[in-house]
Amino acid sequence: MDFETIMHFSKMSGGLLPTMALLLLITIAVIVERLYFYHRVVKSGATLEHDLNVVEHQNSVQLKELESHYETTLQVSLIKAATAAKQQDVSAMDRQIEESIMWQLPKLDRGIWVLDTSVTLAPLMGLLGTIIGMVHAFDILGAAENTGNSTKMVTGGIAEALVATGAGLLIAIVAVLFLNHFNKRMRVAMHQMDLIKTMLINRFHGNS
């Protein structure tokens, strides 16, 4: 597709196609970043669950070693909260760890709003671009003198205008697929942190 064709389609959509292309690039950037982020979070959570299984009851040394090993992970804040509250009772430790989980939620949810916006906004922008293109096509019909040629121009213009709708639907389909995927990964990460919280409390207050 050459530059003139791109400019023609852009004109037919009222200039919305370039904006939609930008929206697609932003959506893809968020998808790539979130794929990498959730891969790390879920993988480190699963590894930490395994490592906590071998920690002995009230063994602060082993927990400190885990804290050092998982220093760069999202879950390290849970270990730090449990270690800081080791002299407190079960309820107090539970609240401390739960607070640390709440502090991590914005990191899990970061960027997801972009995909949610793309799902809604892209089809609407595509529809608007198509309407603008069809209005332009019917303007040609009203101004044309040769009915045969004008009919071809209108049908061709409508077909070109529909490109905007197709582009909007494509962006929305991509966004909704990954939005659902990331929502699932977020639930997995939250379940892991809840399990890690329970395991940490049991390491300090469970039966030996």
User: Using one digit for the tens of pLDDT, what is the confidence trace for 44-60?
Assistant: 999 999 999 888 887 77
Q: How far apart are CA 48 and CA 67, in angstroms?
A: 10
Q: How far apart are CA 5 and CA 11, in angstroms?
A: 10
pTM confidence score: 0.83
Q: How far apart are CA 48 and CA 98, in angstroms?
A: 17
C-beta neighbour count of 70 within 10 angstroms: 20
Q: How far apart are CA 201 and CA 63, in angstroms?
A: 12
Backbone angles phi, psi at 132, to 5 degrees: -60, -45
Spans of all domains in the chain: 3-205
Contact between residue 20 and residue 122 where contact means Cβ atoms under 8 Å apart: yes
Full pLDDT tens readout for the chain, 208 residues: 545 555 555 555 556 788 888 999 999 999 999 999 999 999 999 999 999 988 888 777 888 888 899 999 999 999 999 988 888 899 999 999 999 999 999 999 999 999 999 999 999 988 888 887 777 766 666 665 555 555 555 555 566 677 888 889 999 999 999 999 999 999 999 999 999 999 999 988 866 5
Contacts of 30 (CB under 8 A, 6+ apart): 111, 114, 115
Residues 30-40: pLDDT tens digits? Answer: 999 999 999 99
